[in-house]
Amino acid sequence: MKGTDRVTASLSGLRYLTNEPLSHYTFTKTGGPADLLVFPASVEQVRQALAYATAQQLPVTVIGNASNLIVRDGGIAGLVMILTDMTTITSTANTVTAAAGARLIDTTEAAYQAGLSGLEFAAGIPGSVGGGVFMNAGAYGGEVKDVLQSATVMTPAGEVLTYSAQDLAFSYRHSLVQDTGDVILAATFALTPGDKPAIRAEMDHLNALRAAKQPLEYPSCGSVFKRPKGYFVGPLIQQAGLQGKQIGGAQISEKHAGFIVNRGGATATDYLAVIHLVQTTVFAKFGVHLEPEVRIIGHSHAADK
């Protein structure tokens, strides 16, 4: 990273690293380096980082909790932001508000502690609140759009705005924020007072299902493909004869074919090769195009940055 003294002065008080391997943060344990990786701990520090990026004409990438994400092996140019130092969660009689870096798991637990129902579906989703809003995360019949009341964002120019759920134009694994370049700062969920033992029972039930069906014992990026209309991803991959196939260290999970796991030493290139194998084979056999649900970002080679 050039101009280290300038970086130090401009980002005074803000925790940052240069040329930092993103494999240290991604759930797949793969991914090349970020030129500049910053960890804002407040709204003002988000503004500080964005102002620096604008002044230096750096692209900005926000990677949330890096759970449903593949970073290519060449890494990410410019400024990369992780908001996991912003984790405050508060509740009222019928809402829970969480900072963008708070884990969805912890936000669901806070809702339970407040006796509020509606977030149980997210009890085992490993992503952050910001990433959950960004991707309209969902599981077991629930989605963020079903319970989101509003989200606070910062524009690239440093302006703070509040969007309603309608403003965010949610669709399957998509929100408006994917198109605007805004940084999600916090989200408020509209929930319903409920019976605490019943809420806990549902959370425990869904987590048990997750543990039984998903390969949680290996690093992975979660569910890799969006569900195509009229099909289920796992059975399609099984019927294509691909379950257990491995390229490098990346393997189509023997436990759940909709997951690709790191069996040791995998690279992002291995992951992408397995994704391509699945897509081409399933299309050739069934005429179904599997679209990635996982977010794939970064450069294939360091020289491309």
Residues identified as active-site: 173, 223, 293
Q: Please name which of 17, 196, 182 lies closest in space to residue 109, comparing C-alpha atoms.
A: 196
**Distance from C-alpha of 92 to C-alpha of 102, rounded to nearest angstrom:** 17
Q: Please name which of 138, 147, 140 lies closest in space to residue 117, comparing C-alpha atoms.
A: 147
**Strand partners of residue 247:** 250
C-alpha distance from residue 223 to each of 19, 113, 167, 172, 210 (Å): 29, 28, 27, 14, 12
**Distance from C-alpha of 279 to C-alpha of 159, rounded to nearest angstrom:** 41
CB 98 within 8 A of CB 75: no
6-11, long-range: CB < 8 A, 24+ apart: 7/36, 7/52, 10/48, 10/52, 10/55, 11/38, 11/48, 11/49, 11/52
Burial class (CB in 10 A: 0-12, 13-18, 19+), 55: exposed
